[in-house]
Amino acid sequence: MAKTAGTSVPTVSKVLRGGTDVSAQTRARVMEAVRAVGYTRRAGSKGEAARDENGWSHMLDLVVTHFEGSWANLLIAGVGREAAAAGLDVGLTLADPHSDWVSRVLRRRTLGVIGTLVDPASAQFGALFAAGVPVVLIDPMSTPPSGVASVGVANWEGGRMAAEHLLSLGHVRMGVVAGHARHLFSRARVDGFRAAADTATAGGAAVSVAHGGWNRAKATTATHTLLDGDPGITGIFACADSMALGVYDALSARGLRVPQDISVIGFDDLPEAQYITPGLTTVRQPSTELGAAAVKLLIEFSRGEDGGARPAGRMKLATELVVRASTGPAPAPAASGR
């Protein structure tokens, strides 16, 4: 790594310890070298960083790209409750790409890091892996490095459930408001939805996809795009409840009723799903349980309760369909008003 970064071995070591007496330019070169070389030190070889003078660290870090929104709040609650039950404090770290947040984490005597709403392919997370900091990812946006554990939900199965529900109500022309195209969990939800539609109808169902970027306003625009492209759509799957709100906004602006004209189904089962009118049918993911499961796995990994081995693969929690008033039978073509 030192050769790739054009610096000395002690400087590389200093960066991976979160040292402050390294220039921003040198730190960036080292992080890029970490990514290029793909170096990862076993967490067990850095066990001393997880200890304080009295034994194990009493703190873990939760690294996120934003704190806003019901889903983030539910997940933070799950992390906080499970950590408190284990006698641990939680440090909330904002993964701002324009700040040197990773060095602050490396300087702390933390038990480990739980990362969510973050990209494990980033140079910052590469530095954590290289430094041997125990890391557990929650539904990572991209494929994590080999041997890095993750906790997530059955996204593909959730998409399948959404399609099967709409198909059972007679909908065969459907739209999907997806998140970012590059995010694994968005792609899995879309793929599950498409697979169910193709299987159940032998290819007779039409599924159109537009990307709403996990944002209410962008989901509104995406919904208009879907309906401009196919005015005959009678059912829409929003890959997040936050985007379903944008779908409602677009349908209201077009004078369309939910579910009489178009049925809407979301994904998450956030509190908002119960509060909006009509109540949102959605695929529930156990957000609070996700946070708790990540803490348990991190504790086992960091404290050697798993035998000292690095956890591999993905723990997957089940999703389930929650039916409310936003879905109904597909309207007959003459009754759709379009």
Range with the largest mean pLDDT of 23-32, 202-211, 298-307, 316-325 = 316-325
pLDDT at 270: 96
pLDDT at 27: 66
pLDDT at 38: 59
> How much of the chain exceeds pLDDT 70, in percent?
82
Confidence of residue 188 (pLDDT cuts 50, 70, 90): very high
pLDDT at 21: 65
Q: What are 17's two structure tokens?
A: 């310890």
Is 265:235 a contact under the CB 8 Å cutoff? yes
Best CA proximity match to 265, nearest among 162, 160, 161: 162
Best CA proximity match to 129, nearest among 64, 38, 23, 47: 38
pLDDT digits (tens, 9 = 90+) for 58-80: 899 999 988 888 999 999 999 99
User: What DSSP designation does 305 have?
Assistant: T
Neighbour tally for 85: CB within 10 Å: 11
Does residue 173 come out as left (phi exceeding 0), alpha (psi in the -120 to 50 range) or beta?
beta
pLDDT at 67: 85
Is 317:289 a contact under the CB 8 Å cutoff? yes
Measured CA distances, 18 to 27, 31, 38, 91, 131 (Å) = 10, 12, 19, 16, 9
Indicate the pTM of the whole model. 0.83
Q: What are 260's two structure tokens?
A: 């009489």
pLDDT at 49 over 50: no
Measured CA distances, 235 to 258, 261, 265 (Å) = 10, 9, 8
Does residue 265 come out as left (phi exceeding 0), alpha (psi in the -120 to 50 range) or beta?
beta
Confidence of residue 122 (pLDDT cuts 50, 70, 90): confident
pLDDT digits (tens, 9 = 90+) for 142-163: 888 777 889 999 999 999 999 9
| DSSP result, 206-239 | EEEEEE-TT-HHHHHHHHHHHHHH-TT--EEEES
Specify the residue for token string 């890091």: 113
Range in 107-111, 238-242, 271-275, 327-331 the model is least confident about: 107-111
Confidence of residue 267 (pLDDT cuts 50, 70, 90): very high
Confidence of residue 37 (pLDDT cuts 50, 70, 90): low
Range in 86-100, 112-126, 164-178, 308-322 the model is least confident about: 308-322
Range in 7-16, 170-179, 196-205 the model is least confident about: 7-16
What does the pLDDT average to over 223-229?
A: 98
pLDDT at 271 over 70: yes
pLDDT at 338 over 50: no
Confidence of residue 108 (pLDDT cuts 50, 70, 90): confident
Q: Which residues contact 329 (CB under 8 A, 6 or more apart)?
A: 169, 170
